[in-house]
Amino acid sequence: MRTPTRAVELGGKTLHAGDTVVINIGAANHDETRWDDPETFDIFRPQVPHIAFASGVHMCLGIHLARMETMVALNAILDRLPDLRLDPDAEAPYITGMVFRAPPALPVVFG
C-alpha cells in the first residue's frame, strides 16, 4: 500500500494526499504496452524487465533467495514426479488474489 503526500494524477485518476492506494503488481504482467498478447500464458514470451519483485528503494530483499528456492523446488518436483501434467479430469486452473496471486488449487497427475 502507498499513501500520496500530495495530489497526483495517475492513469487518468486523481489521487489525493492521504488516500490509501493498493497497487496490484500482478496487473503489470498483463501490460499491453509491454507485451504482445499479454493475456496469453506463455512461459517462453520474451523476457523484459518486470516488477514482480518491485523496484527502487523498496525492491524485494529476498529476490535471490526466492529465485533460488523456486529453482530448487521446481527441479525437485520435476525430478521426482515423472510425466507431471495437469489433471485432465479437473477443471481448468485459474489465477486469483489481489496481493498474492495464485490458483486456489492446481490438480496434477504424474507417473
Can you give the binding site for ligand HEM, defined by CB under 6 A? 25, 52-54, 58, 60-62, 65-66
As a whole number of angstroms, the distance between CA 24 and CA 51 comes to 11
As a whole number of angstroms, the distance between CA 49 and CA 40 comes to 18
Closer CB to ligand HEM, 73 or 81, in the complex: 73
Closer CB to ligand HEM, 6 or 58, in the complex: 58
The neighbouring-strand residues paired with 86 are 108
For residue 82, the minimal CB distance to ligand HEM (Å) is 26
Query: Which grid coordinates are listed for 27?
Result: 496487473
As a whole number of angstroms, the distance between CA 93 and CA 105 comes to 7
Number of residue whose CB is nearest ligand HEM: 62
For residue 102, the minimal CB distance to ligand HEM (Å) is 11
For residue 100, the minimal CB distance to ligand HEM (Å) is 8
Give me the count of residues in the chain.
111
